[in-house]
Structures are given as structure tokens and as C-alpha cells.
Chain A
Amino acid sequence: GAVVSQHPSWVICKSGTSVKIECRSLDFQATTMFWYRQFPKQSLMLMATSNEGSKATYEQGVEKDKFLINHASLTLSTLTVTSAHPEDSSFYICSARDWTSGSSYNEQFFGPGTRLTVL
């Protein structure tokens, strides 16, 4: 089955530093990847849609300069939280769409998530 990995699974950093989170599709090509943020006991909120080779599309209210997304290959997208602050502490989840499955609906597969804690 399609597998999406995220690295790291958790990270603790100091306020003001930048953190990069990787999302990889391990056994399929993903032209589109999505980044979600989930605060404790809340739902998943889409942050941005990342298309391979082009700029990400950010949802309203998400700061582009703070959450840098790069989707340079068909199997890797990265989310960089720049100048992180305690309010950025959250659970970040990526998902990837498989264009090659041949199904009428291109499935979206989720990574295991990355828990970011900013001190």
C-alpha cells in the first residue's frame, strides 16, 4: 500500500529557531501534497497545498513567509517553520495524492505526523 513518512516524528526547539519537517511518499509519486496543522483536541486545518515544481497555495490566514513549503520532487515536500514561537507548537500532518494508482479518485495518504514543541 501507499506509504507516507514524516521526519522527524517529534522535535523540540527554542523560540526563534527554524524547523524543517520532511514529508516523503515512499512507494508512489505524489504530484500534490497537503500540509495540515492540528492543535490539541482540535481538528485538522489545511495550511497549504503543495504541487511539485510550483509554488504552494496557502489557505487564508496562513503566513507564507513563516511556513515555507518546498515540493522539489515527486516524492518529497518540506515544511519549514521559520522563527518558531511557542504558539507554533502543534501537530503537523502531511498527506500525498497518488496519481498513478489508476483509480477514479486519487487517494490521499497521510503521514504519521510531526509534533513540534517550541520552548
Chain B
Amino acid sequence: AQKVTQAQTEISVVEKEDVTLDCVYETRDTTYYLFWYKQPPSGELVFLIRRNSFDEQNEISGRYSWNFQKSTSSFNFTITASQVVDSAVYFCALSEAYGGSSYKLIFGSGTRLLVRP
């Protein structure tokens, strides 16, 4: 069975601090996709990144970076120099690569990030 665990329920930091959101996943598939989404108070999901299981390269996009480690089944997300606008709920998600289940997404429970001025 597929499962995504985000152990951090809520994180509070002061603006300009770096913060890492943890994501641990379980799957029997050898090929799969991992995602991060941001959900601001408005509720609309904002896509941040998709990572193929064969691509373990870390990725950086501006203040955002992702660390994918298959050995520990983790896909952690770091925000550098956090800003108040980063306050949101962040979801990690997993999807199988072959459409046996139509690529349905399995979401973690989410981490609520509060960035204080």
C-alpha cells in the first residue's frame, strides 16, 4: 500500500529563518512520482514540484529546494529565508507511474507553516 507521512503537523518560524518540511513515503512500486503542493488560506492547491523516482537529483528553485533520497524514502522540502507569504499548508503526495489506478494521488496529512514577521 502507498502511504505518505508528514510528521510535522505545524511549524512556526520567524521571517528569514530557513525551514525544512519532512516527507516520508512508502510504496512497493519501483517507478513513482512525488509531489509538493502549497495550500494557502484561499484553499486552492498550488503545484510546486514533481519528481520522478529515477531522478534523485536535488532541485533548487529560488528560495525553494528539495532533497530526494530513495535510500530513506524521503522527499524533504526546504524554504530558505522564509517570508510571511510562505505561510500555508504544504502537502507532500505520491503517485504511481503506471495508470493502473489512473495516477491517483496519495496525500500526506500536511504541514502548516506559519512565518511570523
Known A-B contacts A49-B102, A51-B102, A105-B52; A43 and B45 likewise in contact (beta carbons under 8 Å): no
Number of contacts between A and B (CB, 8 Å)? Answer: 52
List of A residues within 8 angstroms of B95 by Cβ: 108
User: Which residues of chain A are near B97, meaning CB under 8 Å?
Assistant: 105
Within A84-111, the residues touching B (CB, 8 Å) are: 91, 93, 95, 97, 105-106, 108, 110-111
- Measured CB to CB, the nearest residue on chain B to A46 is B104
Q: Is A34 in the interface zone, CB < 8 Å from B? A: yes
List of B residues within 8 angstroms of A43 by Cβ: 91, 107-110
**Number of contact residues on A: which range applies?**
20 to 34
Give the contact-size bracket for chain B. Answer: 20 to 34
Give A102 to B71 CA distance when docked, in angstroms. Answer: 31
Given A110-B45, A112-B43, A113-B43: A42 and B109 interface contact (C-beta under 8 Å): yes
Using a CB-CB cutoff of 8 Å, which residues 18-77 of chain A contact chain B? 32, 34, 41-46, 49, 51, 57
**Extra A-B contacts (8), CB below 8 Å, given A93-B43, A106-B103, A108-B95:** A34-B104, A44-B105, A93-B45, A105-B97, A110-B37, A110-B47, A111-B44, A113-B43
